[in-house]
């Protein structure tokens, strides 16, 4: 539907493969909305998304 949440009326089985959530979760926003797929947590509550928290040093590879 053409609303702020992009309400899903019908979803194919491939929705699960695409999002890793059951398609029934999206139909009529039963559990989640399409915009919720792109909404991110603030880094303070999602330390796994903080690039400065990496324990692996970055390596710069020169382009020839």
What is d(CA 60, CA 63) in angstroms, rounded to the nearest whole number?
9
- pLDDT at site 41: 58
What is d(CA 39, CA 42) in angstroms, rounded to the nearest whole number?
10
Taking the chain (64 residues) in runs of 10, the rounded mean pLDDT of each run is 84 89 92 84 55 62 75
Is the CA virtual torsion 59, 40, 26, 21 positive or negative?
positive
What is d(CA 21, CA 6) in angstroms, rounded to the nearest whole number?
17
Question: Model confidence over 34-51: pLDDT tens digits?
Answer: 888 887 655 555 555 555
pTM as predicted: 0.56
Cα angle vertex 41, ends 35, 59, to 5°? Answer: 110
């Amino acid at each position: 539907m053409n609303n702020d949440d992009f309400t899903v009326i019908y979803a194919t089985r491939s929705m699960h493969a695409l999002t890793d959530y059951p398609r029934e979760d999206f139909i009529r926003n039963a559990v989640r909305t399409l915009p919720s797929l792109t909404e991110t947590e603030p880094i303070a509550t999602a330390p796994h998304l903080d690039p400065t928290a990496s324990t692996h040093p970055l390596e710069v590879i020169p382009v020839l």
